[in-house]
A = this chain, B = another copy of it.
């Protein structure tokens, strides 16, 4: 097989050591903040039964699920008729029972329903795992990517919404780039649909206005007309969702606009409570009520969230919302939850672009013992073990190659110190330690070396 044919599957990627260190930094910041708020880790399998996955997010989403061929005689459940008279979806449901997870929310709902008797409610969990989507790969969109989800389930208190906003704020304060936190409420959107006389078209309206930023008012109008929404309703809708006032003023105008919609007023009340809570905590980033924020997923019923970078043009880097009955589909009724998901890959791209990754060299090798030959290498072995036992990452070059080659290895791996042990060093029991940055050398015994490296 020729070198140029080697690749990962379309839309998937390898991560080099350098990239891994950066990614692990992102996960560790996110995880630490989740833990500060009392959330605990959970993991679910990469694959779920298709009966768990399908029909939960929407038809479009179902198409993006990677299906796994049954093992063994995978055609045993099909019959000749299926194969002659082929229906793709019928056949695939016969030959595939499992799929790769599409997000972490549906597996989490299954987890909660399945383990309801062992779980302490309200249940605060986080989950950091890859998910897979058979999407068209493009810049910033991959077929395998990590989600970092944090949810609290079994509590309808709006304090949870506040805490999610605080979590977002804490995380991006750590990452140190500017964001705007957009919130909206699906009840407000339902109220708007009521108020313009199109209650039944709630879903079509949310799908259309979700695209406002991307395609503009005119195209949204056209889409709404296509969906059978009256021009009169559109004329009422657009000014409302395009309000450019402050969040407080928007709320005041909405109170008037939605005065006859019970659900709309409930949504307003929830948004007001959240903005009130925000007065009691010190948030760095702007929280904005954005009426064009709709979030496509069917299961959201209350507050919805989205975070965007202010410095880098990029899709949302965090999003989520409240779902009043997600576990209902798995037989556990009336359990409300709320959660958000951080997109680690997009955060990575932004930190890279803004050059904001910290200098995390502590996991790389601190010292390389140069290898001068059989005898010297045996002399090095117990010293090396002592250095490592002191918690210092250390290597010996595995063979006595040319010194130039060994030094170049240290250099390319950014190893800051090199230890040279030849006959002279063995006789004197003093090691020559070279600083790779400035080329300076000094003689130290092994305990001095450990102290020296522990400090540097």
A residues apposed to B, CB below 8 Å: 1-3, 6-9, 12-17, 20-21, 23-24, 35-38, 40-49, 51-52, 63-64, 66-69, 71-75, 83-84, 86, 88, 91-92, 95-98, 100, 110-111, 113-116, 118, 120, 122, 124-125, 130, 132, 134, 144, 152, 155-157, 159-160, 162, 166, 170, 277, 280-282, 329-332, 363-365, 368, 371, 377-378, 381-382, 385, 388, 391-396, 398-399, 409, 412-413
Contact = CB atoms under 8 A, between A and B. Distances in A.
Nearest to A50: B9
Given A69-B67, A157-B398, A409-B120, A48 B8 contact: yes
B331 A1 contact: yes
A115 B14 contact: yes
A144 B377 contact: no
A84 B125 CA distance: 50
A62 to B, nearest CB: 12
B8 A44 contact: yes
B130 A46 contact: yes
A168 to B, nearest CB: 14
Contact of A391 (B9, B36, B100): B36
Contact of A35 (B14, B72, B331, B393): B393
If over half of A's interface residues share one DSSP class (helix, strand or loop), that class is named, otherwise mixed; here it is mixed
Nearest to A95: B69
A365 to B, nearest CB: 4
Nearest to A332: B3
Given A40-B20, A69-B67, A281-B381, A114 B6 contact: yes
Contact of A378 (B16, B51, B73, B280): B280
Contacts of A144: 45-47
Contact of A43 (B14, B364, B391): B14
A155 B398 contact: yes
Given A120-B413, A381-B277, A412-B120, A100 B68 contact: yes
A303 B20 CA distance: 30
Contacts of A8: 44-45, 48-49
B35 A398 contact: no
A363 B8 CA distance: 36
Nearest to A160: B398
A88 B73 contact: yes
A89 to B, nearest CB: 11
Contacts of A388: 36-37, 170
A364 to B, nearest CB: 7
Contact of A36 (B6, B35, B43, B393): B393
29 contacts: A6-B113, A7-B114, A8-B45, A9-B45, A9-B47, A12-B46, A14-B114, A15-B42, A17-B40, A20-B43, A23-B43, A24-B41, A37-B394, A38-B368, A40-B363, A40-B364, A47-B144, A63-B71, A67-B68, A68-B69, A69-B92, A69-B95, A73-B88, A83-B84, A84-B84, A124-B395, A157-B398, A162-B381, A277-B378
